[in-house]
Amino acid sequence: MTQLNITILSNNPAGGRCTLYTNYAQTLSNSLGFDMQTIYPDEDHTHSAPGLLLDGNPVMPNDGFIIDADDLCRAIEQTGFDNADLTEVHKKLDNLIEDLMSGV
């Protein structure tokens, strides 16, 4: 299977969620070899910031507001990405949101 691409939809300058989503993408790139890119969508773009696209498809937050580790892992699994276990990646992603919420 070809590598997945993760696209960060970011505001410029990046705020809290944009920074979190960049950190998610970096973790997925480092851990799973995903190709990573950042775009700064304007009002004419199909998608708006903040957000993440996995192979061009939006990752939808289950709570309707913030993408979490469960949302990302579910999106990865739905692509059919051939990775035996996402447990460690899930933990890393979870730690990123915990750090954000605790103000670290």
The pTM for the full model equals 0.92
For residue 84, report the phi and psi dihedrals to the nearest 5 degrees.
-60, -40
Out of 8-22, 65-79, 80-94, pick the least confident. 80-94
- Residue 45 is predicted with a pLDDT of 84
Q: How confident is the model at residue 1 (pLDDT cuts 50, 70, 90)?
A: very low
Percent of the chain with pLDDT over 90: 81
Closest to 53 (Cα-Cα) out of 12, 101, 100, 4 = 4
pLDDT, tens digit, 9 for 90 and up, residues 27-48: 999 999 999 999 999 888 889 9
Q: Tokens 């998608």 identify what position? A: 47
